[in-house]
Amino acid sequence: MATIDDVAKAAGVSTSTVSYVLSGKRPISAPTRARVERAIDKLGYRPHAGARALASARTNVIALMAPLRVGVNVPVIMQFVAGVVTRARDFDHDVLLLTQDDVSGLDRVTGGSMVDALVMMDIEADDPRVPLVAAAKQPTVLIGLPQDPEGLSCVDLDFEAAGRLAVRHLARTGHTDVALIGSPPEVLQRHTSYAERLMRGLRSQATSSGLTARVEACDSSPSGASAAVDTLLATAPDTTGIIVHNEAALPHVLSRLAERGIVVGADMSVIAVCPTDVALSQRIPMTSIDLPAEDIGKVAVDMVMARLEGDHPSETRLLSPVLTERESSAYGPAGALD
Amino acid sequence: MATIDDVAKAAGVSTSTVSYVLSGKRPISAPTRARVERAIDKLGYRPHAGARALASARTNVIALMAPLRVGVNVPVIMQFVAGVVTRARDFDHDVLLLTQDDVSGLDRVTGGSMVDALVMMDIEADDPRVPLVAAAKQPTVLIGLPQDPEGLSCVDLDFEAAGRLAVRHLARTGHTDVALIGSPPEVLQRHTSYAERLMRGLRSQATSSGLTARVEACDSSPSGASAAVDTLLATAPDTTGIIVHNEAALPHVLSRLAERGIVVGADMSVIAVCPTDVALSQRIPMTSIDLPAEDIGKVAVDMVMARLEGDHPSETRLLSPVLTERESSAYGPAGALD
DNA sequence: TTGAAAGCGCTAACAT
DNA sequence: ATGTTAGCGCTTTCAA
């Protein structure tokens, strides 16, 4: 491998000149620059990442800590990851992938200066990783919210607003008895923040809109989804509006409703909270509140890069939910209220 | 951040002693080792990854190039990724994630010495990435097979054997007219190797077992799956055995068969080629040939590490397919033949 | 506009 | 069993 000295020699300049041609951190005359550039690609020169990191204290790598457990919303996670990786490249950074159950990985990559910054997904209310990254010298952005986001940078869909929006929409379209079919019990037990935030918004809006709102946890399996639907209809037979916040269970919920002879979009209004592509690939196009997973991943990178450049303060950004009406919802028993 | 010199000072030894305590590359007396270790965790010392890479020409990072495009078998990809990441940690390596459409990333990470080795997924017959990695100084393992695997390290399920195995099983259980519902047309157009290999095995076995075998490409959407089923039953109404090699389409294929009043496991035998967890999460437990995605990811790492250590030659490892009978298959019109 | 040279923090050959 | 020291390849002051 050619080194910067080889390039300097070949171009008849000093090593620092080559370095500055590469970094653009000081003006270089056109002819010099040309000679250096020619030497660079004649030799196929690539700066050595380790040497660069050692000298500059910059790695051009960010860490992404993602839940790699198989089974839970994998496609959605991939959308976040894709957003992060794509945007990182825009900032000339690569992505080091860490898994959730490798908490010691945080120490390793931050302490060992392997990365310039971190993005962490799937934050729980009382997440053990948060104190670790708060103590690290690298800036971190969380996708999701811990209990106390004070002093941290976070980004997520505003799930509380999404809960309110969904209920408000159902209320306005004449529904009086609504229900949430939500995350699997395990997710709730871990107090994963998005699940609880959505429930909070839903309950508060139900109260202020004067609706009854029931909540069912829902295992993502077909049988789990069937059970949730059956329980719901047994205990609250007057329900005419369902909010589904569980991508994996959604198709099974719809199947079960169909099996029971309930026509979605007529007898029952169903609003999904999920990425748009998921909403569109169901048996009928779903009225949904978009979970813009890829965008959130990109915003996370934007935020972490901003903190890396200037001394931006930490901030929490909650993206406003957008509801799009499609074919799975209709007016309820009370009719139009607007 | 504490440096190795700080540690040496605190422990009253030389820097090299600290280095050797860390690497275990030469014997250290028990008391010395103890003093060094105490100093290390008193200071919270972490070796600087860049410095280490510069001095040792080892990064302890491997690159994983994975298709991050949303939509195609994402959960299965995640299983491969999980296997790679997990096993890499066993070798004290981290994983740098590259995406397929970032071909220049290969140059960047190899030329810049960012990684010790590479694992590449989703290999196409004439993959443009293959010549690049073949020229790199880092060893590479491909998950999948290019047209000409000569001189390359590859690992995959033996899809050709899987195709044969599936057909042989159907033949033995009395089926005479079988069909493949396979990958989406895009995948076939890219000549993704696994799709073609499975078809080849299926056709050759059909010939030697004297069966008729029809092949349908199949878009992963519900409507694509319905169309494939409908076309199949229209053009080959005597079909009693179907092999499905398309995880995403599988549930929709089963739904369509059910809609048409065809009872899977009685009127129609269906064999799925997919990870076992996918086979088990269908409406009925599927007879399947396992795609051991996580294992394959692990083997890929094992192979790449072996090449990194000794001077192992390149090799291609094809894992033997295993068929497990469950409830989706039964004897066909010709009855038991064994 | 360019060059010289001092590190960055570690590893490993060479000594003892 | 341990210490000394010469790099590894780059960035960035300091000088010109």
Q: Residue B251's closest CA among A276, A75, A283, A273?
A: A283
Closest CA–CA distance from residue A112 to any residue of chain B (Å): 5
Task: Verify whether the Cβ–Cβ distance A70 to B47 is below 8 Å.
Answer: no
Does A56 contact strand D, using a CB cutoff of 7 Å? yes
Nucleotides of C under 7 A from a protein CB: 1-5, 7-13
Of A82, A98, A109, the CB nearest to B70: A82
CA of A335, C1' of C8: distance in angstroms: 71
Task: Verify whether the Cβ–Cβ distance B50 to A47 is below 8 Å.
Answer: no
- Return left, alpha or beta for B144; rule: phi > 0 is left, psi -120 to 50 is alpha, else beta: left
CA distance B21 to A172: 70
Q: Spell out the per-residue pLDDT of chain B, length 338, in tens.
A: 899 999 999 999 999 999 999 999 999 999 999 999 999 999 999 999 999 999 999 999 999 999 987 667 889 999 999 999 999 999 999 999 999 989 999 999 999 999 999 999 999 999 999 999 999 999 999 999 999 999 999 999 999 999 999 999 999 999 999 999 999 998 888 888 899 999 999 999 999 999 999 999 999 988 999 999 999 999 999 999 999 999 999 999 999 999 999 999 999 999 999 999 999 989 899 999 999 999 999 999 999 999 998 878 899 999 999 999 999 999 988 776 55
Task: Verify whether the Cβ–Cβ distance A94 to B105 is below 8 Å.
Answer: yes
Determine if the pTM surpasses 0.85.
yes
Give me the pLDDT at residue B338, please: 53
Ordered domains of chain A (ranges, CATH):
4-56 (1.10.260.40), 61-157+293-319 (3.40.50.2300), 159-291 (3.40.50.2300)
Q: How far is CA A264 from CA A200, A282, A330, B51, B184, in A?
A: 25, 12, 9, 61, 29
Task: Give the confidence band of A219 by pLDDT, cuts at 50, 70, 90.
Answer: very high
Q: Which residues of B touch A274 (CB under 8 A)?
A: none
What would the DSSP string read from start to end of A130-198?
A: HHHHHHSSS-EEEES--S--TT-EEEEE-HHHHHHHHHHHHHHTT--EEEEE---HHHHHTTBHHHHHH
CA of B107, C1' of C13: distance in angstroms: 32
Give me the pLDDT at residue A337, please: 54
